Structures are given as C-alpha cells and as structure tokens.
Copies of this chain bind each other. A is one copy, B any other.
Amino acid sequence: MNWEKIWEEIGQNAKKAARVLAKASETEKNHALQMMADALVDNTSRILEANQKDLDLGVEKGLPRALLDRLMLNEGRIKDMAHGLTALKSLTDPVGEVTGMWKRPNGLMIGKKRVPLGVIGIIYEARPNVTADAAGLCLKTGNAVVLRGGSEAFNSNQVITDIISKAVGDAGLPAESVQSINARDRAAVDMMLKMNRYLDVLIPRGGAGLIQNVINNATVPVIQTGLGNCHTYIDSDADLEMAVNIAVNAKTHRPGVCNAMETLLIHQEIAPQVLPLLHKKLEELGVELRGCQKTCCIINGVKQAVETDWPTEYLDLILAVKVVESLDAAIEHINCYGTMHSEAIVTNNYENAQKFLEEIDAAAVYVNASTRFTDGFQFGYGAEIGISTQKLHARGPMGLEALTTIKYIIYGNGQIRK
C-alpha cells in the first residue's frame, strides 16, 4: 500500500473539512449529531453483521474473553452509542466564546477566542463504541477527526465510520469530517504519528503499550491519557468506617479502570485498627493483598509485596498495601511511584488535608472521597474524551473544552509599533 499517498489524501480532506466545521453553527452540528445517532440505529443489522465477522475472526485467533467482550456489539450497545451522540446535543458548544478582551494603552483591543483544535487523530484499541464516541466529541467541538481503531475491530469500525460519515454529509456538513484509517498494516499508524502537516494533535486511548508507542514515535503533539497507578492514604486521624468504605470502593467498584486504587498507604498508628477490618471486607470481595513487612505482621497470611508491586497498575482485584510512618512518607511514596492520575487522603485533620492537596503532584487530588470520581461525567463535564496524565494543555478528565484552543483576535484602527 502506498500509505504516503493515502495519508496525503486523508490529510487534505480532513483539513478542508476542518475549515468548514470551524465555521459551522451549534445548530448545524447538533443536527449532524442527531443524524449520526439515527443512522447508527437504522443500520443496526449492518453493524451487527460486520461485528460478527470481527468476533468470528477473534475466536479463530484465540483472543481472550475480556477482549472479545469489549469487541462485541449488540442492539443495546448500538443504542448506547446513539444515545451518547444525542446526549452531546445538550452540552454547550465551547467554540466561539471570547474568554476575555482587554484594551491596551495604544487602543488595541485584544481578545481570546475559543476555536477548534483543527484535525484530531485518535488511536485506540478494540472497543468499536469509541469510534462513535470520539467522532461525536470531535464534531461537537468543530474538529475533523481521523480515527485509527484496533485491527481486531476492523470490520465493525469500517462500517460504523461509513455510516457516521455519510450521516454527517447528509446533514450538510463535510462527510470527510470523520475519516478512518482502517488497515491491519502497522506502517499506516507509523506514518500517522508523523503527520504534522495535517494533524494538530494525537490522542491515544488504550493500554500502556499503545500509549508508549505513540509517545516514543510521534512528532505530532500528543495528549497522554489514562495510565493510573492511584493511591489512597489513610491518615492517623481518619474516620475508620469512612476509610474502609472509600478504600473498598476505590479498589473494587471497577478494578479494571484507570482511576481504581492500586496501592493503599496507611499511617502506622491506625494500621492495627484499619487493616483487619479492611482485610475482611476485601477478602470477601476476592481481593488479593500484597503487603509490606509491617502489613504482614498485622495480618497473617498476606503475600509479601516486592519492589515491583509499588509501580504496578494491576487493573485487577489485587491491592498493594504499605504501612507508613507519616504523612510525609505517604506523599513521598505517591510522588515517587504514582502516575499523577488520582490520589486520595482520608483524614479529619485539617492541616494534613491541605498539605496533601498542596504537595501531591497529580491531576486529581481528593480529600475523603474515592478516586473513582475522576471522570468527565462525574466532574459534570457531560462528556469525556479521556483522562490526561500529562501537564500540557489539559490535565485530568477532558471534556469538550480540551478539544479546543484559543486564538487572539485583535481590533485596531491603524496601530503601528513604535
């Protein structure tokens, strides 16, 4: 395949579409979202047929059950995708807002206006619902999008992109607003990572391997998302019941996601009271503990943690536990091993709460709440394109605004620089 030529065409089409989208009104974009949603539901059988092909190939290839489940679509999941698109209609379009305007001594009026990023590249893995989700978020914010889904979902993604793209065209906006590179060829992705002429940003969504590959090889600016080695620290002053509830929730509510707790830190003064209670609850819920030496002294039969446990994101019913001497030791541990995603303290001590909020270097820092709240919907953004764990541009849950940038608009009346 001549990927250079294919990319050149995709890139030029995306740029053209982006220029039209940037001028589209909220009414036009909402109309397109509704058309996209309707088209998905209307084409349910076509989507399911393509999805079945992917599933059959997946079974043939011996894909793990969990992956096959993520890959699998049914009528309900297609309705959910459509609902996700129509839900975007009610969110306020951030594009066009002038967030500030000031007058300079020479009379120039300088304003900061929110505008779309332009063309967004999204690289993701086996969940075909991301195709509709990402397309909707980009369209609502006036961005063209180029999608590159996992090869396991090849047929599903192809059909979903075709349907959505046609619906956008039928709604009177450029069909090329949503394009996909749906190839099994790795060279296609490698080239995507370096398409600085056409892509304004790349957002990888998926596991550590995918994200690391994008970071290592992209020359297009990247928004790093998703890896979460999250901690909860139970302070000496914590309410026992609250501490247990929060820890159990952060670990077990949905262990496979990035805002789940992976390591629990407990102040040594409260550890003898908390640990037995917590151990009992977690054991009932099937959680395997890996404890530091002090933990193992307090509760019998716990597996001993090794150094590699502290930086590990298990994404599973496993919890590393460490008893610490002080709040400072907890902060030190988190700033050393954390991925700057979500960190929580449970305490009734005012000063300790403030110190934790101040000194922990993470996207979301909690006092007395579960880390599971780090999520665009839970934050009230009404949508989420991912959770940024880098510091540039966007940090934490990214809603619509994260898909925009600003430009300065300057009104003069003949000013020249003296």
* Stretch from A29-37, A146-154, A216-224 contacting the other chain: A216-224
- Rounded to whole angstroms, the CA-CA distance of A253 and B417 in the bound complex is 7
Which of chain B's residues have a CB closer than 8 A to the CB of A396?
406-408
Residue contact B416 to A370, C-beta cutoff 8 Å: yes
Alpha-carbon distance A22/B391, docked complex (angstroms): 14
Q: Is B361 a contact of A415 with CB atoms below 8 Å?
A: no
Within residues 325 to 382 of chain A, which ones have a CB less than 8 A from any CB in chain B? 335, 357-359, 361-370, 372-374, 378-380
> For A358, what are the chain B residues with a Cβ–Cβ distance below 8 Å?
23
A242 contacts the other chain (CB 8 A): yes
Report the count of interface residues on A (CB-CB < 8 A).
67
* CA distance in complex: A322, B201 (Å): 32
Residues A410 and B367 in contact in the complex (CB < 8 Å), given A219-B216, A253-B417, A378-B104: yes
In this assembly, does A215 line the interface, its C-beta being within 8 Å of a C-beta of chain B? Answer: yes
Contact across chains for B405 and A365 when beta carbons are under 8 A apart: no
- A412 to B373 CA separation, bound complex (whole angstroms): 11
Interface residues of A in 226-256 (CB under 8 A from B): 239, 242, 245-246, 248-250, 253
Q: Mark A262-290, 1 if CB is under 8 A from B, else 0.
A: 00000000000000000000000000000
B410 near A110 with CB under 8 A, answer no
Query: Please, how many angstroms separate the alpha-carbon atoms of A374 and B412 in the complex?
Result: 13
A411 / chain B contacts, CB cutoff of 8 Å: 367-368
A63 within 8 A of B: no
Nearest residue (CB) in B for A117 is B391
Is B108 a contact of A412 with CB atoms below 8 Å?
no
Q: Is the CB–CB distance between B370 and A249 below 8 Å? A: no
Instruction: Tell me whether A395 and B391 are in contact (CB under 8 A).
Output: no
Query: Nearest-CB distance from A355 to chain B (Å)?
Result: 10
A405 and B395 form a contact (CB under 8 A): yes
A27 near B: Cβ within 8 Å?
no
Q: Per a CB cutoff under 8 Å, which of B249, B364, B368, B395 touches A413?
A: B368
Nearest-CB distance from A93 to chain B (Å)?
Answer: 15
- Do residues A412 and B117 form an inter-chain contact, with CB atoms below 8 A? no
Determine which of B19, B407, B414 lies in contact with A242 in the assembled complex, contact meaning CB atoms within 8 Å: B414
Q: Answer yes or no: A70 CB below 8 A from chain B CBs.
A: no
Please, which residues of chain B bring their CB within 8 A of the CB of A108?
Answer: 369, 373
Task: Give 16 A-B contacts (CB < 8 Å), ordered by A residue.
Answer: A22-B359, A108-B369, A110-B380, A118-B361, A201-B391, A221-B222, A221-B390, A249-B416, A250-B416, A357-B409, A363-B408, A365-B410, A366-B410, A366-B412, A373-B410, A395-B407
- Beyond A19-B361, A221-B392, A379-B408, 5 additional pairs, beta carbon < 8 A: A19-B335, A117-B392, A200-B391, A373-B415, A396-B408
